[in-house]
Amino acid sequence: MTPYAPILTSHVGEPNSYSLDFYVTHQQGYEGLRKALTQEPGDIIDQVKTSGLRGRGGAGFPTGLKWQFVLKDTPNPKYICCNADESEPGTFKDHVLMERNPHLLIEGCAIAAFAIGARVAYIYIRGEFYHVQQILEAEIEKAYAAGFLGKNILGSGFDCDVYVHRGAGAYEAGEETALIESLEGKRAQPRIKPPFPAVAGLYQCPTAVNNVETLCNVPLIVLNGPEWFSGMGPEKNGGPKLYCVSGHVKKPGVYEASMHTTLRELIYDHAGGMLDDRPFKAIIPGGSSVPLLLPEHLDTPASFDDIQKAGSMLGSAGLIVLNDSVCMVWLAMNLLHFYRHESCGKCTPCREGCDWLYKLLARIEGGEGQPKDLDLLFGVSSNIVGKTLCAFGDAAATPVLSTMTLFRAEYEAHVREGRCTLTADWRAAHPVMAAH
Amino acid sequence: METVTLTIDGQPITVAKGRTVLQAAIEAGVSVPYYCYHPGISIDGSCRVCVVKIEKMPKLQTSCSTLCADGMVVSTREPDVVDARAGVFEFLLANHPLDCPVCDKGGECPLQDFSYTFGPADSRMDFPRRVFDGEGVKADVDFGPTLMLNRNRCILCTRCVRFMKEIDDDAQIGIVDRGAGSEIATFQEQGVHSLLSGNLMDVCPVGAILTRDYRFKSRPWDNPTVVDTTCTLCSKGCNTSAWLKAKPEWAKGSRLIRMTPRYNPDVNGYWMCDIGRFNYHWVEGESRLRRPMTRNGDVLEPTAWHDLQPRLRDRLRQARGSSESAASSVQAPPVRFLVSAHASTEELFVLKQLVEGLMGSEGLNAVTLAWTTSDKAQPAGTKFKVSRTNAPNVNGARDLGYQVGAGNEGTPDLSALRSAIESGQTAAVYVLDPGPDGSLGDTSWLIAARQNGTLPLLIVQGAVMTDLASAADFVLAGSAFVEKDALYTNDQGRVQAASRAIAPPGEARDDWSILVALGQSLGLALAYESAIDVRRALAATMPDTPYASADLLVVTRPVAARNWLQASNPSERWKWDFLYQDLPPVKGHSVQMEGISPRAAYIPLKLTE
């Protein structure tokens, strides 16, 4: 294992790690903000650009560039929206940061607001994270009381308010424009782009939407310099990274590492190896929406670029590890059950297609499938990919296309033999919620 | 005007800057299907059938949401576009019930028409269709007092949602649930309560929202003719189309089958209100006057026009003569006229000549205009405000020199007329009211004056058997607004024409001709042969006004619907009339398919092994 000292999660095990006192005492708390306020906003953006910080939410878009696109010459206010609607299956890193290290996020929000010229930051938190919201709000109160938020922060003349808004429980609210719609009090459905949020976002004002982990890295960059950040990890993939390892591993959890770390190291060194020491079959490396990788990819570094080269995406770094007991048809059906339930229903291909895909997969998995269903499955998926309003459609079709491409034999076995290759016991132990 | 030039399917097209690719395609006559786009409401980009390929863009783009740019190269016919579009159509029809034979929209349905042109020949969907019928739940439900909603047919384009939010300014419609379970609904299932509700049937591209008024009444192919006309139920003057059902002479029932809005950006946009849309049944209703009548004791007896006219002449002469010995003067004319502001400008013009011929230049003092006003309950921010004045032609009367007080801004003043009648100074009252019942407001005092003998003679010329008409000595059967070529001047001062869609029933006549015949019988030289004669004379007497060219206003006649889609909702029709034909005809020759080989024009069938 490459020696690595956690930075983002260095103290999350301490009982008081969430408190302001702890943050100031042990983590150089709000020093980044103090330093940032002595500089020009443009300099902050330049530093973030130089650092090569890439969005941790899924797309891996350079954060500095995103901030630079935020419209400057406008009479309208600007906004920072922190995307804390962590809903991607297999992803649970932002939860840890917000629950155990909330001030890092609050500081990141303040610096980001300063950098783009906003004075309000909204943290849009997932509906199910009720207790996290309570912690965050309590800590925001303390940050106000200590003068790190509010009017004239640290005597600099800069004002910044941070509000927490809890969603009502929709995966789609994690899409940046749907998040903005939801924040405005509407249904969480995506908007057509362009215009992008950087031009017309929240209340049609210039807005930057950033993931929690992304914003948490900002104080570190300001404090330690962009070179420190970019030096940690492969080129263009710098900085600390949180990995959510789940599935068939001995110790599932959030692990912090540099992006030099390979998938094999994450599974066998960090997460303690395969559950029950069964053979590794495949891994979904970036949350449920990305293509699977096979054993031959295990030595791929878990960086944005390397995973992409291997044919998948790092996404939100939710590593779902699968051992040889997993039926790939069942996997696809399980995931499509989720996507079908979460499709917002705004655009036609996603609304109708996800439902159709799920029905097809359920039929095949149930042993009722016919040979033509496999082509149909492929055809329906292809009719969704690239035709939807937001990336949801692509995400929903990916599990089907990926499992069909890599494990076609399993699908054919279901259709030909009318049954699954897995034992009935295993199925009984892994029930899929009934469709409703 | 700043323009941009782009290429669509190899054809260079120049459009105004700010137009979308879809709008450019429509203008150029390139066939691109769409559902969520509607020219009158905001862009949604959700139905995904308008996808096109644009060079240098990695993915297919929705043309409704892509702005035209100089040098853009757009393709709507390349195989990947054709496939993608067909794929979306397969999705749209996957859960659509395809109950076209019993659906009112069938035959004028954009989903039908576009699916035939762009959709796959066959659906691969073999699961049961999604239905909203269930225990205690029906898919086909009441949707407020004027509408019905069929959720099974809905394709969730959300035009109705956006119409209510943006045009009506009362977002009563929303979507509940999400994903494949999404359904159009109103809060607490209370339905749509709006003065603009009928427009929802027009914006709905499928048969999901239907008006109760038109439901199960006709099929598009049974409405072969349509007349462009003007609504006269308030002073707004919405441009409308009157739809006529084809039926044999002997068949019962009405010919006028529905009213729909006709696009006019300066007056009503794409919309009309429910009053104009649904309140046309009186035209062919039970209480309609079909023949002239004279009083014989307690009863009104049908009379032939040629019998009635001499008797009417004699009674009027008598009325004028009897009061000449008394203090007959300009201030107390013996014969007074009560005229509804539903009278057209031509009728008011002839009437003016009549009263001036009889009483000299002060003759107009004998005429009192009447109309009603009512406050319409509409949200404060509505984009379509219905006028307060319930009559079409107060401004027309003012322009001709009639006294209308504050006009559209105020209420009519009948006090002088009433005191003149109730004091017994008036020998006869001639009422002209071609509007629906109630157009004159309260007339009980006039009825009472006639019945207690204070008023010796009451003549009513109108379209409906009102209480006032049943108290009259002479009832002259006139015509309603859809039965005549007539001018009305709306509250903006625009001179607009209504057109004769159907003939007046029975022996009823054009109102101007009744007045002309009356004038002639009283010895006046009113020489008009036709409505257009009156209009020409009117134009000649009012130079340098909008009326000067009124005789050039098009008099439209029922025209054959050139295509089923013309018998469709107004936005589709508007495209046909103003933006060329962007939809292929359902059958027959297609202009836009000229020069295109059939191979390219049809989408190859997708065969599944």
pLDDT in tens, A284-343: 999 999 999 999 999 999 999 999 999 999 999 999 999 988 889 999 999 999 999 999
**Are the beta carbons of A349 and B48 separated by less than 8 Å?**
yes
Q: How far apart are CA A298 and CA A275, in angstroms?
A: 16
Is residue A96 located within the same domain as residue A139?
yes
Residue A272 lies in a domain: yes
Q: Residues A253, A223: one domain?
A: no
User: What confidence score (pLDDT) does residue B557 get?
Assistant: 58
Tens digits of per-residue pLDDT, A145-186? 999 999 999 999 999 999 999 999 899 999 999 999 999 999
**What is the mean predicted confidence (pLDDT) over A410-435?**
72
The answer to whether residues A65 and A105 belong to one domain is yes
Pairing of strands B367-370, B335-340: parallel
Global confidence as pTM: 0.90
Residue B575 one-letter amino acid: K
Residues A392 and A292 in one domain: no
Q: Residue B27 has what pLDDT?
A: 85
Task: Name the residue of chain B whose CA is nearest to A389's CA.
Answer: B46
What would the mean pLDDT of B114-128 be, rounded to a whole number?
90
Domain match, A82 and A157 both: yes
Task: Say how many domains are in chain A.
Answer: 3
Question: Among B51-65, B454-468, B550-564, where is mean pLDDT lowest?
Answer: B550-564
> Is residue B131 domain-resident?
no
User: Looking at residue A147, which CATH number applies to its domain?
Assistant: 3.40.50.11540
Contact at CB, B87 and A170, closer than 8 angstroms: no
Write the residue in B47, B87, B175 that is nearest to A187 by C-beta. Answer: B175
Residues A226 and A252 in one domain: no
Same domain, A341 and A318: no
- Mean pLDDT of the region A256-270: 95
**Same structural domain, A116 and A62:** yes
- Substitution target in B52, B68, B124 with the highest count of A β-carbons within 10 Å is B124
pLDDT band at A430 (very low <50, low <70, confident <90, very high): low
Residue A418's pLDDT band (cuts 50, 70, 90)? confident
Question: Contacts of residue B44 in chain A, CB cutoff 8 Å?
Answer: 192
d(CA B500, CA B485): 5
Residue in B65, B84, B92 closest to A387 by CB: B84
- Rounded mean pLDDT of A127-143? 95
Q: How confident is the model at residue B250 (pLDDT cuts 50, 70, 90)?
A: low
Residues 522-541 of B with CB under 8 A from A: none
Contact residues, chain B, for A372 at CB < 8 Å:
608-609
Q: Cβ B175–A345 below 8 Å, yes or no?
A: yes
Tokens linked to B132: 């909203």
Asked if the model's pLDDT at residue B605 lies above 70, the reply is no
In a domain, A3, yes or no: no
Q: Are B9 and B30 in contact (CB under 8 A)?
A: yes
CB atoms within 10 A of CB A156: 13
Q: What are φ and ψ of residue A276, in 5° steps?
A: 60, 15
| pLDDT tops 90 at residue B92 | yes
Residues 6+ apart with CB under 8 A from B342: B232, B371, B391, B392, B393, B433, B434, B435, B436, B439, B481
Q: Which residue of A has its CA nearest to B154?
A: A348
Higher pLDDT: A322 or B228? It is A322
Q: In the predicted model, is pLDDT for residue B551 greater than 80?
A: no
Chain B residue with the nearest C-alpha to that of A348: B47
Percent of chain A with pLDDT over 70: 96
Least trusted range by pLDDT, from A278-292, A419-433, B374-388: A419-433
Whether chain A has a CB inside 8 Å of the CB on B44: the answer is yes
Residue B451: its pLDDT value, please?
Answer: 94
> Is B20 an interface residue toward A (CB < 8 Å)?
no
State the complex-level ipTM. Answer: 0.93
B43 touches chain A (CB under 8 A): yes
Phi, psi of B13 (to 5 degrees): -135, 130
Three state DSSP letters for B281-350: HHHHCCCECCCCEEEECCEEEECCHHHHHHHHHHHHHHHHHHHHHCCCCCCCCCEEEEEECCCCHHHHHH
- Tens of pLDDT, residues A73-86: 899 999 999 999 99
Distance from CA of B381 to the nearest CA of A (A): 19
Query: Rounded to whole angstroms, what are the CA distances from B170 to B183, B192, B379?
Result: 19, 10, 6
Q: Which of A289, A304, A323 is the last residue of a domain?
A: A323
| A352: nearest CB among B46, B62, B180 | B180
Torsion on CA atoms A195, B90, B121, B95, rounded to nearest 10:
-140
Interchain contact A376–B (C-beta under 8 A): yes
Select the residue of B62, B182, B609 nearest A345 (Cβ to Cβ).
B182
Residue A359 in this model has a pLDDT that exceeds 60: yes
Looking at per-residue confidence, does B567 or B218 come out higher?
B218
Q: Residue-wise over B366-401: b if at least 16 C-beta within 10 A, else e? A: bbbbbbbbeeeebeeebebebbbbbbbbbbbbbbbe
Percent of chain B clearing pLDDT 90 (strictly above): 66
Query: B531 near B515, Cβ under 8 Å?
Result: no
- Per CB-CB distance under 8 Å, the chain A contacts of B88 are 348-349, 383, 387
Contacts of B128 in chain A (CB under 8 A): none
Q: Would you state the pLDDT for residue B589?
A: 36
Q: Which candidate, B90, B227, B266, B295, places its Cα nearest to that of B561?
A: B227
Out of A116-125, B92-101, B316-325, B527-536, which region has the weakest mean confidence (pLDDT)?
B316-325
Chain B contacts of A343, Cβ < 8 Å?
178-180
Q: How many angstroms separate the CA of residue B37 from the nearest CA in chain A?
A: 13
Inform me whether the C-beta atom of residue B181 falls under 8 Å from chain A C-beta atoms. Answer: yes
Which of left, alpha, beta for A122 (phi over 0: left; psi -120 to 50: alpha)? beta
Range of the domain at A399: 328-434
Cα–Cα distances (Å) from A192 to A90, A202, B42, B43, B88, in that order, read 28, 14, 12, 9, 18
Q: What percent of chain B has pLDDT over 70?
A: 88
> Considering A195, A230, A265, which residue would you say is the last residue of a domain?
A230
Cα nearest neighbour of B95 on chain A: A352
Smallest Cα–Cα separation from A402: which of A287, A273, A234?
Answer: A287
CB-CB under 8 Å, B180 with A340: yes
Nearest chain A residue to B123 by CA distance is A376
Kindly state whether residues A268 and A341 are assigned to the same domain. no
Please tell me the least confidently modeled range out of B169-173, B369-373, B392-396, B409-413.
B409-413
Q: Is residue B320 part of a domain?
A: yes
Place of tokens 């200590």: A146
Contacts with A344 from chain B: Cβ below 8 Å? 178-179
8 A C-beta contact, residue B4 and residue B23: no
A170: which chain B residues are within 8 Å (Cβ-Cβ)?
178
For residue A425, what pLDDT is reported?
Answer: 67
The partner residue sitting opposite A387, judged by closest CB among B51, B130, B158, is: B51
Chain A residues closer than 8 Å to B85 by CB: none
**CB distance A343–B178 less than 8 Å?**
yes
Among the partner-chain residues B51, B59, B179, the one whose CB lies closest to the CB of A355 is B179
Report the CATH number that the domain containing residue A297 is assigned in CATH.
3.10.20.600
pLDDT at residue number B292: 96
A273 falls within a domain: yes
**Number of structural domains found in chain B:** 1
With a cut of 50, say whether residue B580 has pLDDT above it. Answer: no
d(CA A73, CA A97): 34
Which chain A residues touch B127 with a CB distance below 8 Å?
A: 356, 359
Reported as a pLDDT band with limits 50, 70 and 90, residue B322 is low
Beta strands in A220-308, from DSSP E residues, in sequence order: 240-247, 253-258, 280-284
**Is A10 within the bounds of a domain?**
no
Q: Is the pLDDT of residue A422 over 80?
A: no
**Which is more confidently placed, B571 or A238?**
A238
Residue B506 structural domain? 293-552
Taking an 8 Å cut-off on Cβ atoms, the answer to whether A383 and B62 are in contact is no
* Alpha carbon separation from A144 to A136, A139, A140, A159, B201 (Å, rounded): 12, 9, 6, 11, 54
- Which residues in chain A touch residue B181, judged by CB atoms under 8 angstroms apart? 345
- Residue B132 lies inside a defined structural domain of this protein: no
Residues A223 and A136 in one domain: yes
| pLDDT at residue B549, rounded to an integer | 84
What CATH number does the domain containing A382 carry? 1.20.1440.230
Closest-CA distance, A157 to chain B, in angstroms, reads 40
Stretch among B251-265, B442-456, B525-539 having the lowest mean pLDDT: B251-265
A214 part of a folded domain: yes
Cα A278 to the center of its chain, rounded Å = 28
Q: Do A260 and A294 share a structural domain?
A: yes
Alpha-carbon distance of A435 to A426, in angstroms, equals 20
**pLDDT attached to residue A1:** 58
List the single residue in A192, A341, A376 with the smallest CB-CB distance to B45.
A192
Q: Which of B92, B179, B609 sits opposite A375 (nearest CB)?
A: B609
CB pairs under 8 A between A and B: 97
A383:B178 CB<8 A: no
Indicate if the pLDDT at residue B566 is higher than 70. no
Chain A residues whose CB is inside 8 A of the B48 CB are 347-349, 387-389
Q: Judge residue B161's burial from the number of C-beta atoms within 10 Å of its C-beta, 0-12 exposed, 13-18 middle, 19 or more buried.
A: buried
> Span B471-480, mean pLDDT?
96
Check pLDDT > 90 for residue A347.
Answer: yes
Contacts of A192 in chain B (CB under 8 A): 43-45, 62, 65
Q: What is the mean pLDDT of chain B?
A: 87
Q: Is residue A370 part of a domain?
A: yes
Which among B200, B43, B26, B201 has a CA at the least distance from the CA of B108?
B201
Domain endpoint, select from A177, A197, A230: A230
Q: What is the torsion angle, in degrees rounded to the nearest 10, for the CA atoms of residue B407, residue B410, residue B411 and residue B416?
A: -70
Exposure b/e, B418-430, CB count within 10 A at least 16 = b: eebbbeebbbbbb
Out of B252-261, B355-364, B545-554, B563-572, the most confident range is B355-364
**pLDDT tens sequence across B34-72:** 999 999 999 999 999 999 999 999 899 999 999 999 999
Residue A7 lies inside a defined structural domain of this protein = no
A345 touches chain B (CB under 8 A): yes
Note whether B156 contacts A: Cβ–Cβ < 8 A. yes
Q: State the pLDDT confidence band at A424, using cuts at 50, 70 and 90.
A: low
Residue among B45, B158, B182 minimizing CB distance to A389: B45
Least confident of A80-89, B69-78, B557-566: B557-566
Residues A296, A181, single domain; the answer is: no
pLDDT of residue A421: 65
| pLDDT greater than 90 at residue B218 | no
**Looking at the domain assignment, is residue B412 inside a domain?**
yes
CATH number for the domain that contains residue B480 = 3.40.50.740
With 90 as the cut, is the pLDDT of residue B263 above it? no
Answer yes or no: is B21 within a domain. no
The distance of A185 to chain B (nearest Cα, Å) reads 13
To test the contact with chain B by mutation, choose from A342, A350, A351, A378 the residue with the greatest count of B C-beta atoms within 10 A, namely A351
| Strand A161-166 relative to strand A207-211, pairing | unpaired
> Could you report the per-residue pLDDT of A32-53, keeping only the tens digit for each?
999 999 999 999 999 999 999 9
- Please report whether residue A14 resides in a domain: no
Cα separation of B281 and B284, whole Å?
6
* Model pLDDT, residue A431: 65
Q: Is B65 in Cβ contact with A342 (below 8 Å)?
A: no
Q: How far is A370 from chain B (nearest CA, A)?
A: 12
Partner-chain contact A348 B177, CB within 8 Å: no
Are B124 and A379 within 8 A, CB to CB? yes
The Cα of A435 is separated from the nearest Cα of chain B by a number of Å equal to: 12
